[in-house]
Amino acid sequence: MTTRTPNHQLRDLVAETGLTYEALATTVRAVAAECGIPLRTNKSAVEHWIAGATPRGDTGRYLAVALSRRLGRLLTPADLGLPAGSEANDDTIGLSLGAEPLDALLPMWRYELDRRHFLTTSAYSVAAAALPLSHVQEIAARTNAARTGHTVGMAEVAAVRDMISAFSEMDERHGGQHGRSALVTYLRDDVAPLCRGRFRTDETRRQMLSAAGRGVHLLGWKSYDAGQQGLAQRYYLQSYALAAESGITGHDGFVMRTMAMQGLKLHRPEHCLSLAETGLNRAKGRVDAQTEALFRVVHAHTLAKAGKRRAALAQAEQASVLLTAAPGDDVPFWALAWGPPAASVYSRTAKVHETLGDHRSAAEQYALAAASRPAGTYARIVALDLVAGAEMHLKRGGIEQACSTWHRAMDHMDGVRSVRTRKAVTRMRSDLARFQARGLRCTAELDERARDFLAGT
């Protein structure tokens, strides 16, 4: 019989959390569920691990995340006294900020193209979410010495921006699962060598790093749309690193804004208010009015989530004022990640009102957001704004208006490959279920359409 050696590292960490074994098991199951993995971990399993047993499959990774969240610092399976695994299953990849973002991105892209599942099933890290807050100082500029022998000018920067814009438009039209491998390949094979080339001017170098950061940000968004939150967070962190290294005013703060939005969506409020506030402070008074409005409205949302009602409404109002302050100003390339700034401000203002329980105002703002985007170009996000508006109508008791708005949302979903749109339709069917017994025709027709949609996607 094999004698197990008790895992004292794990025992001490669990003791430090103050969690009972049952509570820890519940947390591990919750982390795995976020990654789409059902587990049956229980108190006995935790006891076995501390006695020296090794968790099966990816359970050790989920255990590390659960303990990291509780203790507020990043832990790996090795820190728990568990087998570290191979380089190709390194749970820390992408979860740090270094002087060379491409050193983290290149292996991530290799693993994505090789279909390595450990990245796509990685969990959101609360500890990593705090990294930009301790990294607001610009990363030391890397040397301009030639590594590829190619001299990069603004023509190359313009080409990268055009290509990223094309990928972004494809993403909005057809969903995050469309064209993802092509984007990874383009960033790895074309953009990364340009970032390591010789630049005609330092300004050209800054603009190229910023353009690359926007491309990596789009990869994060695609991962987010696919429900791969841990991978999305890693890409956002490396997008932040590129933006900070570029030194382009406001760009690093914009990625912090995105990270705050992700945390809010995942109901992980830790650091969100600080991320949004720090991002705003990095840009306030230094960018155009429409871009500043984007920062302020996300700050407003984090304030609302923190229960600061008056401050939230004041920030949302300031964002609205800024939209009309200088409508002719040029909006920087990186700030156009979700299309027209006005639509993004309306959509996020709706979330402020929704958080504060004002469903009428939220519905009005979601409708404004949907109407402010070219529907053909932004099919997915228009659909999701309309879905959110329908949910607000339903909360106010307007079932017929909700059904009408849901039908409009589904009109925009054809040809969109998105986990979020599927989840929205599934959630809609659940919301409609309690009305089916009433015999309402509008709910029956909508449910039938929803069944057909889910069967065909």
Environment class of 310 (CB within 10 Å of its CB; exposed 0-12, middle 13-18, buried 19+): exposed
Q: Report the mean per-residue pLDDT for the chain.
A: 85
**pLDDT given for residue 435 in this prediction:** 84
What backbone torsions phi and psi does residue 413 show, to the nearest 5 degrees?
Answer: -90, -10
* Secondary structure of 89-145 in HEC code, one letter for each residue: HCCCCCCCCCCCHHHHHHHHHHHHHCCCHHHHCCCCCHHHHCHHHHCCCCCCCCCCC
Instruction: For the chain, give every domain's residue range.
Output: 8-85, 249-356
Q: What is the dihedral of CA 34, 105, 252, 330, to 10 degrees?
A: -110
pLDDT-derived band at 384 (thresholds 50, 70, 90) equals very high
Q: What angle do CA 180, 295, 405 make, to 5 degrees?
A: 65
**Stretch 421-431: mean pLDDT:** 92
DSSP reduced 3-state for 151: strand
Output the pTM of the full model.
Answer: 0.74
The alpha-carbon radius of gyration of the chain (Å, integer) is 23
- What integer is the mean pLDDT of 247-252? 96
> Which class in CATH covers the domain with range 249-356?
mainly alpha
pLDDT digits (tens, 9 = 90+) for 436-454: 777 778 898 999 999 999 9
Is 203 in contact with 153 (CB distance < 8 Å)? Answer: no
| Measured distance between the N- and C-terminal CA atoms of the chain, rounded to whole angstroms | 51
More confident residue, 313 or 397: 313
With a pLDDT cut of 70, the percent of the chain lying above it is: 86
Identify the three-state secondary structure at position 410.
helix
101-145: pLDDT as tens digits: 777 777 777 777 665 555 555 656 655 665 666 543 333 232 232
- Cα 30 from chain centroid (whole Å): 19
Check pLDDT > 70 for residue 346. Answer: yes
> What's the whole-number mean pLDDT along residues 376-382?
86
pLDDT of residue 327: 64
